[in-house]
Amino acid sequence: MVIVTAEPAPTSRTPDSLTSLETRLGVTFRDRALLLAALTHPSYANEHPSDPAPTNERLEFLGDAALSLVVAETLYQRFPEVQEGRLTEWRSYVVQGPTLARVASERVDLGPALRLGRGEELTGGRERDGNLERAYEAIVGALYLDQGVEAVRSLVERTLGDEFDRLANEVGVLNAKGTLQELAQDGGLGRPDYVVVSQDGPDHSRRFEVEVRVGGTAFGRGRGSSRQEAEKQAALQALPGLRARATQVSGSTSTGNAGASGAGIGA
């Protein structure tokens, strides 16, 4: 049951908006009050003391533990040949704040569903990585209480499945900038150039957008709460395109060499 305050604020969630979020998550909560709590930022609770929904802080604590367990189990089952040290690195990558914030924003579109106070709303709280990460973890905790660990596994597979695929298919994902630089220099394109194209938010919570250019061509863009994180995300986005270009150039060179050799033999 969703309880609406007597004086609805622009940041409160309606039943329809909760249903829309559930559709994006692929989940129908039995106890919707848990979902409402998972979306409630402390700033909203401070401004609406009569609202019965608690903040999402306790659910975030529970969700962090449940998510870490499920991700660790998924990695253990999916990569039987990978040793403990590498599995630990991979788990850290999947559950780190920037990864969860990106998934919450791009795959779940969680920002519009957050319950924020007016001050947090006005300073870009719906796009803030910390808010998105914590709300995602809180939803995991709420789902664990509502339906158990199997439901959490299903949610993780739906929303974080691409991250597991990336670990399996993209060599160098944990050191994207180093891998990109190696590819660029091996291809004779020089060092990648990272350019800040925008930054917004208050001084204590800036958000950067960075474009990475290789040989004068833009290959990727990334956003993050620091310039370093935005550069890493840009490098991750750029890797597939630069690999494809390197393969194409290599193929063209091989074809050209083969043609030259054929001409020489025929001469």
With left for phi above 0 and alpha for psi between -120 and 50, is residue 216 left, alpha or beta? left
**What is the mean predicted confidence (pLDDT) over 71-84?**
93
CA-atom Rg of the chain in angstroms: 23
Give me the residue label for tokens 């499945």.
161
Enzyme catalytic residues? 64, 137
pLDDT at 76 over 50: yes
Domain over 15-169 is classified CATH 3.40.50.150: no
Report H helices in the chain.
15-25, 32-38, 42-47, 57-78, 84-95, 97-106, 118-122, 129-147, 149-169, 176-186, 227-266
pLDDT, average across residues 100-116: 95
Note the pLDDT of residue 163: 92
The CA distances from residue 178 to 94, 102, 181, 182, 245, in Å, are 19, 21, 5, 6, 18
Contact 123/202 with Cβ under 8 angstroms? yes
For 215, the token pair is 């040989």
The pLDDT mean for the chain works out to 85
Higher confidence at residue 24 or residue 2?
Answer: 24
pLDDT of residue 164: 93
**pLDDT band at residue 15 under the 50/70/90 scheme:** low
pLDDT band at 14 (very low <50, low <70, confident <90, very high): low
Residues of the chain with pLDDT > 70: what percent?
A: 86
Q: Is the pTM higher than 0.85? A: no
Question: What is the domain partition of the chain in residue ranges?
Answer: 15-169, 176-266
- Three-state DSSP state, 235: helix
Q: Higher pLDDT residue, 59 or 267?
A: 59
How would residue 9 be classed by pLDDT, with cut points 50, 70 and 90?
A: very low
Tell me: pLDDT of 12 over 70. no
* pLDDT, position 2: 39
Mapped onto helix, strand or coil, the DSSP state of residue 115 is: strand
pLDDT for res 193: 95
Whether residue 86 has pLDDT greater than 50: yes
Among candidate residues 39, 68, 59, 74, the one with its CA nearest the CA of residue 162: 74
**241, 249 in Cβ contact below 8 A?**
no
> Mean pLDDT, to the nearest integer, of 152-180?
88
Q: What confidence tier does 5 reach under pLDDT thresholds 50, 70, 90?
A: very low
Average pLDDT of the residues in 2-29: 68
- Given a cut of 80, is residue 173 above it in pLDDT? no
Is residue 113 scored above 80 in pLDDT? yes
Q: Using an 8 Å Cβ cutoff, are 152 and 144 in contact?
A: yes
Backbone φ/ψ region at 42: left (φ over 0), alpha (ψ -120 to 50), beta: alpha
- Say which CATH architecture domain 176-266 belongs to: 2-Layer Sandwich (3.30)
* For range 111-118, the mean pLDDT: 95
What are the tens digits of pLDDT across the range 221-262? 988 888 988 898 888 888 888 888 777 765 555 455 544 444
Predicted local confidence at residue 223, as pLDDT: 85
Q: Provide the 8-state DSSP code for 28.
A: -
